[in-house]
Structure 1
Amino acid sequence: MNAIKNLIEKLCDLVMHGRFSDETEVITNAVSEVMPVVATEELPEKHPTMMQEVSGVNNAGNVVPLAATDTPLQKATRAMMAMEQFLGEQYDLRFNKLTSETEFRKRNLSGACFQPVGQRELNSFCIEARKQGIDCWDRDVSRYVFSDSIPEYHPFRLYMDELPDWDGIDRIDSLARRVSSVPLWVKCFHRWLLGMAAQWLETDRLHANSVSPVLVSRTQGKQKSTFCKLLLPRELQRYYTDSYDLSAQSAAECKLTEFGLINMDEFDKFTPRKMALLKNLMQVVNPCVRKAHQKNYRPLPRVASFIATSNQKELLTDPTGSRRFLCVEIENKIDCSPLDYRQLYAQLKAELLAGERYWFTSEEEAEIMAANESYYKHPVEEDVFRSCFRPAEYGEKALMLSAAEIFQRLKKHNPAAMRSVSAGNFGKFLSSLGIERKHTESGNYYRVVALV
């Protein structure tokens, strides 16, 4: 404004000519000369809230006028209230509990979707407010946008809460048959989907959805990964990932709280050591994680369920842990046409509210383990062992050998194959083959029959 410019020039002139020695007197006289001019300046149009002095909001939500003189605190309060009112009129704001982000969308804009608030958006909010004559700074906008004044929501809980009533038509079994018509698969896939939906609804805080379907085909182009991604509706696609790195355990645990479905693509690439970690993660209910910009670890509810794909059939190495993996072989290209998501998940929700079981019984786990026998990856030492020995039958005359003795015989028989095998865990390996073990004072011995 011209008046302000004149004020600055007047101050400089007074100081340079030394007309006043006291700085306070200089400023006072300069302001007294210029203020009548400032009063006549045409001010920019302000936001309606700023057109009157306000001191607060009454119980009816109406702005209350200020007295003629107000304190700096009252001025700051007035500006904050005006900023909040302006943002509330222009935008819908909400806090995403899953991602710890504030999201926004423009009000009265048809088809507008919520987007995360970043620094660019914060700057735009502040500029728009100041254009309306609201005296605020970017730090004021940031404090408000990232405060508990913004209502919070959980994406998966919101989606499940907004579902319509189920129309009574079963859509889950037909979805399972897109992959395979094997009865065990159809039954267990239904149970797994119930477990996934129960986790979204936070139905059970004591148990996790600890089983993962594994879609297997030796040939490409069966649309295994496409089917996995198809399981989440458009509103929740942001919470699907096919990137899961087990080499960083803390990051792997964090993803349990941030994603609804984790696809372990190329499942056959996981080493036995990583498989042990994976089985542990699949059972975690409340991972203890530290998110970005936080100092402390805290337990958070798990949201993620697992699914996997593989181009190799030899996948599993631990027979006792195979109950965690529902393997199914894909024979035909999977139908990935669109789903009626709202009715699909309405069915799952209705079944859960009716008390349908969403966990696997020990009998179902035994069925899964039996069906998984054709998916075991047999270690090289097993092939060498079976070429040299077989387990002794009941009452049969047999050799009683220690694990070390058997190991040395196998190494002598095929040194190249046994070069990478450790003798340390060889006893555990023999037990996994179901070989009878006898405990004596001098150690453990295994009943075997020599073949060579």
Structure 2
Amino acid sequence: MNERNTNTVNPIVRMIDYLNSHYAFRYNCITSCTEYRATASAAESFVPLDPRSRRRITLEVQREGIEVSKNDIANYIDSDYIRSFDPIGNYLAQCEGVWDGHDHIADLAATVHTDAPLWKQWFKTWLLAMVSQWQNTPGRVYGNSVAPLLISPQGFNKSTFCRRLLPEELKWGYTDSLDLGQRRQVMLAMTQQLLINIDEFNQISPRLQQGFLKNIIQLPTVKAKRPYGDRQEDLPRRASFIATSNMTDILADPSGNRRFIGIELTEPIDVSRMPNHRQIFAQALQMLRHGERSWFNKAETQQIMQWNRRYEILEPAEQYFRMFFTPVDNYDDKAAEWLSAAEIFDVIKQKVGTSLKVTSLMSFGRKLANMDGMRRKRSEMCAKYWVKRVG
């Protein structure tokens, strides 16, 4: 058989043959990035093909006397000739059907020492929601709209626990350095990350809590522009949220408290052993396949909101309300009266002076409406609250 004369072969074909004999390429469909490794180093991991590596590969091809341009090489590397690779689907496929029947998710939750009686149940539902979010099930109406909020002094291993929630194969999908003030960066991270840790949650402004964060945490998809893209697209959201804080009075919006699960630690989290990730996610997949719920129903949401009241920020006006008024459950209490938020505020102001300020009477009214045992009715002009003066 005559050997093929390489000088007569199309340069593009020679280029592809050379590249495939020296490198393995794949297109990471999560990060929208081509990755590579040398074929001689099959044991090594794939790494992103950065600009420096591209230039080196281009020079290697041209040194072989293959008359192609850098654009020719880029056209091949960035085309759908390169196989797509889904790192999330690949990892979950390795976990499918291998659960040993032990409750590994509960074991992981038990490493978090807390007095919250429903923590294990809440954590399991949240983790199932995280895995369900990764699977990107068609027709999702809401994203994983709840985030555990771990509260303790420094040195309780909160950040270590958060980082260890992801296995080695998916650790690229964890971040705790996202600037929530950068809207575009956050929206893009929700499509490319798997777990976003809002570290030092207490440093987030109430305005950001009540607005942007409250909105994005429930999105099923994200409208964003890919890196180097020329248009905005509806991209699947993959990231779930978790948060840490060193302070207890941190939730600024009573109506948004259902978005967080405040968990105060009683002692440091036990990080002496690495979680059995394969079994944890195998269990999650098995539970989801058998119809286990990955969202919080109405009753559980009410439980979470009730539990979170202890972590709400008490503004001065609210603190003074508790000094001079009390909500009344009994409509027959003759000492009680129907007062509007403005009337209540005027009474407080008369007692403590003109220095008392509130951001708005609307926010003050929202605080009143969310207080335990508060009765409310609508009048022609405004909402009124059934309260009794004390002190």
Structure 1 length-normalised TM? 0.78
2:121 is the counterpart of 1:187: yes
SS of aligned partner of 1:246 = coil
Amino acid at match of 2:100: D
Change in 2 beyond 3 A, CA 1:118/1:49 = farther
In the alignment, which residue of structure 2 is the partner of 1:123? 55
CA contact (8 A) 1:264 1:309 kept: yes
Partner of 2:290: 354
Please point out which of 215, 233, 250 is paired with 2:184: 250
Q: Distance in 1 between matches of 2:365 and 2:314?
A: 16
Q: 1:388 to 1:169 in 2, by over 3 A?
A: closer
**Who is 1:396 aligned against?**
333
Is contact 1:191-1:359 (8 Å) kept?
yes
Residue 322 of structure 2 corresponds to residue 386 of structure 1: yes
1:371-394, Cα deviation, whole Å (9 max, x unpaired): 223222222111112222233442
Structure 2's unaligned 5+ residue stretches are none
Q: Secondary structure at the match of 2:170?
A: helix
Q: 1:371 to 1:210 in 2, by over 3 A?
A: same
SS of the residue 1:412 aligns to: helix
* Aligned match for 1:215, one of 131, 139, 150: 150
Q: Would you say the 8 A contact 1:50–1:134 is kept in 2?
A: no
1:451 aligns with 2:390: yes
1:346 Cα deviation from its structure 2 partner: 1.8
SS at match of 2:192: coil
* CA distance, structure 2, for counterparts of residue 319 and residue 308 of structure 1: 18
Q: CA RMSD in A?
A: 2.3
TM-score, normalised via structure 2 length: 0.90
CA distance in 2, matches of 1:145, 1:309: 41
Q: Give a deviation string over 1:413-449, Cα, whole Å, max 9, x none.
A: 2237623543454433333335444544565544433
After superposition, give the CA deviation of every residue in 1:287-331 in whole Å (9 maximum; x if it has no partner): 010123222110011110111111111222333322221221212
Of 174, 179, 201 in structure 1, the residue corresponding to residue 107 of structure 2 is: 174
Name the structure, 1 or 2, with higher relative contact order (CA <8 Å, separation 6+): 2
Native 8 Å contact 1:105 1:114 kept in 2: yes
Tell me how far 1:110 sits from its aligned partner: 4.5
User: Can you give the 5+ residue segments of structure 1 that lack an aligned partner in the other structure?
Assistant: 1-47, 55-77
Whole-angstrom distance in 1 between the partners of 2:384 and 2:309:
27
Q: Report which stretch shifted further, 278-287 or 161-170.
A: 161-170
Number of residues paired by the alignment?
381
Larger radius of gyration: 1
The corresponding residue for 1:275 is 209
Q: Is the 8 A contact 2:58 2:70 kept in 1?
A: yes
Asked if the contact 2:148–2:242 (Cα under 8 Å) also holds between the matched residues in 1, the reply is: yes
Match of 1:323 among 251, 258, 271: 258
Q: Which one of 352, 365, 373 corresponds to residue 427 of structure 1?
A: 365
Is 1:163 the equivalent of 2:95?
yes
Asked if 1:313 is matched to 2:214, the reply is no
> Is contact 1:205-1:285 (8 Å) kept?
no
Partner of 2:75: 143
Say if 1:361 and 1:406 are closer, same or farther in 2 by CA, change over 3 A.
closer
Q: CA deviation at 1:83?
A: 0.4
Distance 1:115 1:443 in 2: 61
Query: What is the match of residue 226 of structure 2?
Result: 291
Residue 8 of structure 2 corresponds to residue 53 of structure 1: yes
Residue matched to 2:352: 414
Comparing 384-393 with 232-241, which one deviates more in the overlay?
384-393
Q: CA, structure 1 residues 283+131, in 2 after alignment: closer, same or farther (shift >3 Å)? A: same
1:152 aligned to 41, 61, 84, which one? 84
Structure 1: how far apart are the matches of 2:105 and 2:78?
Answer: 40
Aligned mates of 2:45, 2:78 — CA distance in 1: 19
**1:234 pairs with 2:163:** no
